[in-house]
Structure 1
Amino acid sequence: MNLRQDPVASLSALSSVLDLANGLEGEKSLLTGLFALELALDGGLSEDDARAAFYVGLLRHLGCTAYAAEESRLGNDVHLRRNLLRGDAGRPEHVVRSVLDANPSLPRRAVGLARLLTSSRRLRSEWFAEACGAARLLASGLGLDTRVLQGLDEAYERWDGTGGPRLLGGTDLHEVGRVAQAAHVAVVFFVGSGTAVAQEALALQSGTTLDPAWAKRAMAETASLQTLSDARIEAAEECLLESPPTIDATALATTFGDFADLQSPFTRGHSRRVAEACASAAPRLGLDAAEQATLQLAAYLHDLGHVTLPTGLWLRPEWTPSDREASRAHAHATEQLLTATPMLRDAAKLAGAHHERLDGGGYPRGLAPAALSRAARLLAVADVWVALQEERPHRPARTAPLARHALEAEVKAGRLDADCVAVVAGTKHVRRAPGPGPTSALTPREVDVLRLLAGGATNKEIAEKLGVSDRTVQHHTIHIYEKLGVSTRAGASLVAARTGIV
């Protein structure tokens, strides 16, 4: 199922990463968007509203990485999200069953269930807030209609007012979002179990999760999901292209790079820092303008494949040999995702090669030196250089001199390019102070708190680090959120990454 015209085609293709991050199959996000568009038009909404419903359905899961680290404490977060989506998350028994099914062994199940039972109310409210807030903020970088942003912000609200994050309900919810919600329920059950089960789910959730009118219309049209003809796809594309979003390749790359970096508190802002290191070094290494532009896209997106794997893998302080082997799949996943995305296709092989090494011992292909371009060699060096100066679960962040020494050792071992290391490690990186924009109003102390917040530190840990009380940290956090116009840690982390604070 392919839409042919950019930028709609590229955004639609890249939505498959949202499906993979949630353990879903069958182009769920794209199918949801198309079904939402058809429901809206058939239900008498304007074409503008129908287009907005398409993007709300397409990008519903754009904030799913925002709370992934916390979800991973309950079990395999990819499986957990998939299980929750295939039922009514408002029913406690379904949530419990989802947690149990997301754990492979009895001890892990016991741990996950204990954490759920002791923190269920907090987890639920935080998850709604983090997921919706991140989706809205990420989508704002794509220049989408305000109706789309509102629909994403209300994606987990319910018709009966028991959802979140603001307990909205009924006609207080934007109709675009209500249409997309009905399409989501129809498609997620159709893809997993077929038409009859999808219709049953729509009936069960009518009047609770779903607007009864849109649930009824979706029930009547669910069977059409079995025969999505070329003619219907062309009709949808024609409607979408009457007013296409003005998305360029850089906006698409930075948005989905940020989406990937949100998965772990150890990687927030990582891709932007790698892109910055590449941008600084590329001209001095003789890359022409076209090579530099492709390299920038690859740098933003090199770790996109991370989200196809459980977050717990990236948070473990020690890896087993099987963990290490599993982690290598992310590079190939990145290349596949970008190859399918027209606006980013030229960056696919470059992004997928960021773990290749000059001695042929890298992955995923074990390429020989002759197969590695100067841009590929630079991206590999920049990724290691930046990562070494970031904290990881198994080690603290290294200073620049120690990181430089580690790179030089890799050159001696024949794994990294000497010229690239000389240029990248020879550049003194200065952490940015707040510039024009939302971070400019922050005090120096608030900047310190924001950096620690973005790194996943609790209020107590921040207080100990800065030598202040928990209450002082709480006050700083409130002021930070107010000044940045956000309400969650993920939102604050995104703003910090976009402005170079982290």
Structure 2
Amino acid sequence: MSLGADLGLGQPMEHVLRECLIAMRLAERVGLDTKGRATVCYTALLTWVGCHVDAYEQAKWFGDDLAFKSDFPMVDGAGTGFVLRHLGAGRPLVDRARLGLALIGGGRREVEAIIDNHRRAAEDLAHQLGLDAEVRDSLGQAFERWDGRGTPGLARGPAISLASRLVSMADVVEVFHRLGGVEAAVAVARERRGTQFDPELVDLFVSVADEILVGPGGEATWNAVIAAEPELDVVLTGAELDAALAAVANFADVKSPYTLGHSCAVAVLAESAARTAGLVEADAVLVRRAAYVHDLGRLGVSNAIWDKPGSLSVGERERVRLHPYLTERMLAASALAPLGTVAIAHHERLDGSGYPRGITGDALPMVARILGAADAYRSKLEPRPHRARLTADQAAAYLRDEVRVGRLDGDAVEGVLQVAGHAVRRRRSWPAGLTAREVEVLRLAARGLAVAAIAAQLGISKKTAANHVEHIYVKIGVSNRARASLFAVKHGLIGDDDIDAESRQR
């Protein structure tokens, strides 16, 4: 989620991780105990996690919401001048004037509520994730200022939690250090001493800035944060992981009013379709969890694009096509990396017309085909700024048209439509209850391909291929390749006519 906050802030990924390291190093020098450092850690990682919840309003007032937020650390308080400079950015003068008049009216309250919305969203997520009261209290004060002019303006000076004061300074000095080195970081800390920042913390930071700001880059930053905090050793059960991922899914979806509830709905469809298609339990779980996180990368694209009522420019379309890649990169360094390898493919299509990689045919695993079909179906049921929502029948017709032209997988689409309550078109019935994917695996196994070779040819993991082979042998009542070959020949699964028929069907 901290990587999502980076994207939502218009900052380079790992800004928050580096901020977290700075805050924790200062916390150690202040003398905080293990519990106190854990509070600093979670406060740093989650302070900005709600920065996208009102991105729709931000884009309405300020154009590119990412550009607006990326400038926020550069000023000592986003006052009237800051707001007016960004009001209607990128729009014609007459539109900016209209927004100015609206701001004088009721719009001022909406703009002033932006930071408070971020604070409340972070507190709410911390509660959903089961974090303790100390973390929630620190997040509640994350946007207070030493001089009392912060949000919500209920605390000032030493009454602000120490974790909040540490994170507030670390957030800004990380940006200035990245842009101008140690000298710039020290300068901004001194400049805001006694206004935004705690004077004593500034003096401490200035005295040890060279040591505090040195640190690893790249994936090493992720590992450094984990190593620096001994309390980051909580292990989630399967149910707890699903609950956390569902919370993350809902958090990502609130970026736009057009996608509320989208990811969790896709997860339900995809998991049920996977089970209907006869996928093994591990794959059904995998596609459910990948669905929860498949749209995290949307945080890295401005709402000026997502919520645009007209057609997109070439550049805007390219930014949209980037969001699955951002999802995969956000997950790549963590234990959730396997989810990213599925999630990145939810806009890929069998004919290579999808994105971001233009994957074709058998290189697209069945779990990704199901996720893509579930995402496409659910998206059509939801309104978008450029179109009204489709009816369920219209959405089903769209998916079947995509099958007919070779973009979506027929089995995946019919599985999704079946669990969504549509009458399923009769598909070819394979012997012994085999699925179409299992027939593909059986044909390769019958020809003598080892599990690794089957996995490579079908674009699936070796473990998934092995599970398929095991289930196939159980279904057809054999225990070795030779007998499986006899079964395949006996039931006409090897001939060219059958292969061509299946290809046409799929």
Normalising by the smaller structure, the TM-score range is 0.7 to 0.9
**Counterpart position of 2:425:** none
My pick for the range that moved more, 137-146 or 105-114, is 105-114
My pick for the range that moved more, 410-419 or 162-171, is 162-171
Residues 1:241 and 2:230 aligned together: yes
Residues 1:336 and 2:325 aligned together: no
On the 8 A contact 1:335/1:349 being kept in 2, the answer is yes
**Counterpart position of 2:135:** 148
Change (3 A) 1:313 1:233: closer
Written as runs of structure 1 = structure 2, the 5 A alignment for 1:26-425 is 27-73=14-60, 74-99=62-87, 102-103=89-90, 116=103, 118=105, 121-228=108-215, 237-242=226-231, 244-247=233-236, 249-322=241-314, 323-340=316-333, 342-425=334-417
- Tell me the distance in 2 between the aligned counterparts of 1:96 and 1:278: 45
Change (3 A) 1:352 1:420: same
Cα offset for 1:114? 5.3
Cα offset for 1:217? 2.0
What secondary structure sits across from 1:426 in the alignment? helix
What secondary structure sits across from 1:97 in the alignment? helix
Query: Which amino acid in structure 2 is aligned with residue 267 of structure 1?
Result: T
- Tell me the distance in 2 between the aligned counterparts of 1:193 and 1:105: 33
Query: Which amino acid in structure 2 is aligned with residue 244 of structure 1?
Result: D
Cα offset for 1:53? 0.6
On the 8 A contact 1:302/1:352 being kept in 2, the answer is yes
* Runs (5+) with no aligned partner, structure 2: 423-506
- Tell me the distance in 1 between the aligned counterparts of 2:119 and 2:273: 37
Query: Which amino acid in structure 1 is aligned with residue 6 of structure 2?
Result: D
Change (3 A) 1:425 1:361: same
Cα offset for 1:192? 2.6
On the 8 A contact 1:297/1:344 being kept in 2, the answer is no
What secondary structure sits across from 1:222 in the alignment? helix
Residues 439-485 of structure 1: per-residue CA shift (max 9 Å, x gap): xxxxxxxxxxxxxxxxxxxxxxxxxxxxxxxxxxxxxxxxxxxxxxx
- Tell me the distance in 2 between the aligned counterparts of 1:234 and 1:400: 46
On the 8 A contact 1:80/1:99 being kept in 2, the answer is no
My pick for the range that moved more, 69-78 or 183-192, is 183-192
- Tell me the distance in 2 between the aligned counterparts of 1:416 and 1:351: 16
**Counterpart position of 1:472:** none
Cα offset for 1:124? 4.1
- Tell me the distance in 2 between the aligned counterparts of 1:195 and 1:92: 30
On the 8 A contact 2:26/2:212 being kept in 1, the answer is no
Query: Which amino acid in structure 2 is aligned with residue 389 of structure 1?
Result: L
- Tell me the distance in 2 between the aligned counterparts of 1:287 and 1:400: 25
- Tell me the distance in 2 between the aligned counterparts of 1:36 and 1:343: 24
- Tell me the distance in 2 between the aligned counterparts of 1:60 and 1:103: 29
On the 8 A contact 1:249/1:297 being kept in 2, the answer is no
- Tell me the distance in 1 between the aligned counterparts of 2:347 and 2:28: 47
Residues 19-78 of structure 1: per-residue CA shift (max 9 Å, x gap): 122121372201111111111121122221112112211222100011111000112100
- Tell me the distance in 2 between the aligned counterparts of 1:284 and 1:233: 38
On the 8 A contact 2:17/2:222 being kept in 1, the answer is no
On the 8 A contact 2:7/2:13 being kept in 1, the answer is no
Cα offset for 1:119? 5.3
Cα offset for 1:111? 5.7
Cα offset for 1:81? 0.2
**Counterpart position of 1:483:** none
- Tell me the distance in 2 between the aligned counterparts of 1:258 and 1:240: 27
Query: Which amino acid in structure 2 is aligned with residue 81 of structure 1?
Result: K
- Tell me the distance in 2 between the aligned counterparts of 1:399 and 1:169: 53
- Tell me the distance in 2 between the aligned counterparts of 1:297 and 1:258: 13
Cα offset for 1:83? 0.6
Residues 375-427 of structure 1: per-residue CA shift (max 9 Å, x gap): 11110110011111111112222222222222222222222122222221123
* Runs (5+) with no aligned partner, structure 1: 1-13, 431-502
On the 8 A contact 1:26/1:191 being kept in 2, the answer is no
On the 8 A contact 1:103/1:112 being kept in 2, the answer is no
Aligned structure 1 segments of 4 or more residues deviating by more than 6 angstroms: 229-236
On the 8 A contact 1:144/1:245 being kept in 2, the answer is no
Query: Which amino acid in structure 1 is aligned with residue 388 of structure 2?
Result: P
What secondary structure sits across from 2:419 in the alignment? coil
Cα offset for 1:98? 4.4
On the 8 A contact 1:358/1:416 being kept in 2, the answer is yes
Change (3 A) 1:376 1:232: closer
On the 8 A contact 2:305/2:312 being kept in 1, the answer is no
On the 8 A contact 1:274/1:386 being kept in 2, the answer is yes
Change (3 A) 1:37 1:136: same
Cα offset for 1:177? 1.3
Cα offset for 1:235? 8.2
Cα offset for 1:354? 0.5
My pick for the range that moved more, 208-217 or 299-308, is 208-217
- Tell me the distance in 1 between the aligned counterparts of 2:375 and 2:241: 21
Identity score, percent: 34
- Tell me the distance in 2 between the aligned counterparts of 1:239 and 1:335: 25
My pick for the range that moved more, 29-38 or 314-323, is 314-323
Cα offset for 1:185? 2.4
Change (3 A) 1:321 1:239: closer
What secondary structure sits across from 1:123 in the alignment? helix
Query: Which amino acid in structure 2 is aligned with residue 89 of structure 1?
Result: G
Written as runs of structure 1 = structure 2, the 5 A alignment for 1:414-453 is 414-428=406-420
Query: Which amino acid in structure 1 is aligned with residue 377 of structure 2?
Result: W
On the 8 A contact 2:17/2:225 being kept in 1, the answer is no
- Cα RMSD of the aligned pairs, angstroms, is 2.7
